[in-house]
Structure 1
Amino acid sequence: MRVAVCQLNSRADRAENLAVARGLLDRAAAAGADLAVLPEYVDFLGPAAQAPKPEGIDGEFAAFFAAAARELGMWVHAGSFHETGPDDEHTYNTTLLFDRTGALTATYRKIHLYDVEIPGRVSYQESRTVAAGSDVVIAAVDGVETGLSICYDLRFPELYRQLAVRGARVLVVPAAFMAHTGRDHWEVLLRARAIENQCYVVAAGQIGDHDPGRTCFGRSMVIDPWGTVVAQLPDEVGVAVADLDLDRLARIRRDVPSLANRRL
């Protein structure tokens, strides 16, 4: 399986963000990707007052990426967007996964919400406006079991262990990871999730400044089950492509059978 991670600097102009995303998907398809992964909140990162109205999973956002998947003949993981939530005060932070025909094959709602207060650095309470999901989701992408997650989920290894135990061989992480924490934690956490679960990790991040006054770390990457970074983007908008060697994954699980040996 060939995968592509697409790195964006989404801002408050939704139409522009979607146009850039489609251009990156075109590049991924031209590179032969079977699956392209976009970052968290791919369509909008900006002031809440300017945010687009939340949509259902059959709205304009879904139609846009379904059409891209169908026209490119490629699996498209549409990062995440603000889905209509359980009440007027909350949305869901939701991933949609489309197959080569443009059919919606999986929906995942972010379980762990980013409620963080780092004095002088980060102040963000995602739970004020976003409701938590509850379902652990795996989808078969061309027959390869792929576990879904979003950004802050990365800090909760129990989710990824559940995905691995349920059969996942690939773990997908769309993100808008903050620069302050990303410098020290992003790659370390991604590599840990790959090593401990003996899975490929495919992580697509936002890069650069966005309103109101936040900066995303970027460094989108693909990591193999040994913990080796096999592809990584520099600090700019772009696409990186990697081939997932599933035979290598099987050998690693055979030679170091930590999943099989677990006791809890």
Structure 2
Amino acid sequence: MCESATDAVHPRFFRKPEHYVRAFKIALIQMSVGPDKAKNVAAAISEIHKAKEKGAQLVALPECFNSPYGTKYFEEYAEEVPSGSTCRALSRAAAEAGVCVVGGTLPERCGHALYNTCTVWDGSGALVATYRKMHLFDIDIPNKITFKESEVLSAGDQITTFDYQGIKIGIGICYDLRFIEMSHLMAKQGCSLLIYPGAFNMTTGPKHWELLARARANDEQLWVALVSPARDTTAGYVAWGHTLLVDPWATVVDQLGEAPGTIMADVDVNLVEEVRSQIPIRVQRRTDIYDTVHKK
């Protein structure tokens, strides 16, 4: 009998061990961000500790949590990873609180290049993952918004995942959310949760923020978290806000509005297995005809 060509299935989904329980409490922090870098970082550290007090085991911050979002700010606020002051503060907070911290994003300087970078720190304060935004936000919507990150930023070239207590988690940043190939590759690598620090604007936010989060959750049958800064109507770039968490059935578990706040929720990986076993698209894809491949 010939074997059919299908996606590789992560070993976790072949058999569910007896007494299998895979769940953790996540905190998604929608915080205000202003021009004072030190104040922004201090606020983020405070929120990490508050989330820990509420039982969070993994805390995620928004895109550009230590600086205003905008091409004119990236050079001024940029720092090296992991030696910069923001990274040192995140490492210390993760260790003191004993939580995993997905450090939103910060403008990273590496030589002459600037990146929009997410760092991930474990409960001992060790750096376990670094992701540089791969798809730069270059758009032009007439009479609405024109923005070109590539004028200042360089693009990353590595898909990034990390393991948290035996659960694989993938990282994307904002505009990356629109590219299904990226999320599919992370799912193929065994991810049960994708986290996107992001700052959609007042044009694309109402149209696509929730839509894309639910689409990625539905397409890949996993959890999706989008973490935005709070809305500041006085800023040069006004973020949509609406931080949200979507489950593998593509149901919005919780969503904030425009103001600062925190989502606290349980992420149950058993639900990933439930959906994938009941709607087994992974073994039904016609990879003899089409496929998504990772070019290393």
TM-score tier by shorter-chain length is: over 0.9
Offset of residue 46 of structure 1? 5.5
Q: What does residue 64 of structure 1 align with? A: 89
Per the normalisation by structure 2, the TM-score is 0.85
Tell me, in whole angstroms, the C-alpha distance in 2 between the residues paired with 1:210 and 1:110: 25
SS for the counterpart of 1:12 is: coil
**Match status 1:73 vs 2:98:** yes
* Structure 2 match to 1:4: 27
Paired residue for 1:167? 190
| 2:215 corresponding residue in structure 1 | 192
Which segment drifts farther, 213-222 or 69-78? 213-222
Residue of structure 2 in register with 1:237 after alignment: 260
Q: Counterpart of 1:117 in structure 2: which amino acid?
A: D
Counterpart of 1:149 in structure 2: which amino acid?
G
Find the residue that maps to 2:238 and give its secondary structure: strand
* Residue in structure 2 matching 1:96, options 106, 109, 119: 119
TM-score (norm 1): 0.95
Deviation at 1:211, TM superposition (A): 6.4
Which consecutive residues of structure 2, in runs of 5 or more, have no partner in the other structure? 1-23, 292-296
- How far does residue 68 in structure 1 lie from its aligned partner after superposition? 0.6
Instruction: Note if contact 2:94-2:101 (Cα within 8 Å) is conserved in structure 1.
Output: yes
Give, in angstroms, the shift of residue 189 of structure 1. Answer: 0.2
> Which runs of no fewer than 5 residues in structure 1 stay unpaired?
none
Tell me if structure 2 keeps the 8 A contact 1:138–1:146: yes
Counterpart of 1:223 in structure 2 is 246
Asked whether the 8 Å contact 1:10–1:206 carries over to 2, the reply is yes
Indicate the residue corresponding to 2:64 in structure 1: 41
**2:206 equivalent in structure 1:** 183
Q: Tell me the secondary structure at the aligned position of residue 265 of structure 2.
A: strand
What letter corresponds to residue 45 of structure 1 in structure 2?
Answer: P
Letter in 2 for 1:9: S
Kept in 1: contact 2:79–2:85 (CA 8 A): no
CA distance in 2, matches of 1:182, 1:58: 33
1:137 is aligned to 160
Deviation sequence 1:174-209 (CA, Å, 0-9, x none): 011112110110000000000110110111101212
**Which one-letter code corresponds to 1:114 in the other structure?**
F
Equivalent position to 1:52, from 55, 72, 77: 77
Describe the SS at the equivalent of 2:169. Answer: strand
Q: Which has the higher strand share?
A: 1
Q: Is it true that 1:31 corresponds to 2:54 in the alignment?
A: yes
Partner of 1:18: 41
Letter in 2 for 1:91: L
| Residue 263 of structure 2 is aligned to residue 247 of structure 1 | no
Counterparts of 1:212 and 1:76 in 2: how far apart (Å)? 26
Give the deviation of 1:261 after TM superposition.
1.7
In structure 2, what residue type is equivalent to 1:213? G
Aligned residues of 1:218 and 1:235 also touching (Cα < 8 A): yes
Deviation at 1:40, TM superposition (A): 0.7
Aligned partners of 2:65 and 2:106 also within 8 Å: yes
Structure 2 SS opposite 1:215: coil
Q: How does 1:96-135 map to 2 (within 5 A)?
A: 96-135=119-158
What's the secondary structure of 2:203's corresponding residue? Answer: helix
CA contact (8 A) 1:3 1:34 kept: yes
CA contact 1:54–1:91 (8 Å) conserved in 2: no
Give the aligned residue type for 1:84.
Answer: R
Aligned residues: 262
CA distance in 1, matches of 2:266, 2:254: 9
Q: Tell me the distance in 2 between the aligned counterparts of 1:116 and 1:9.
A: 25
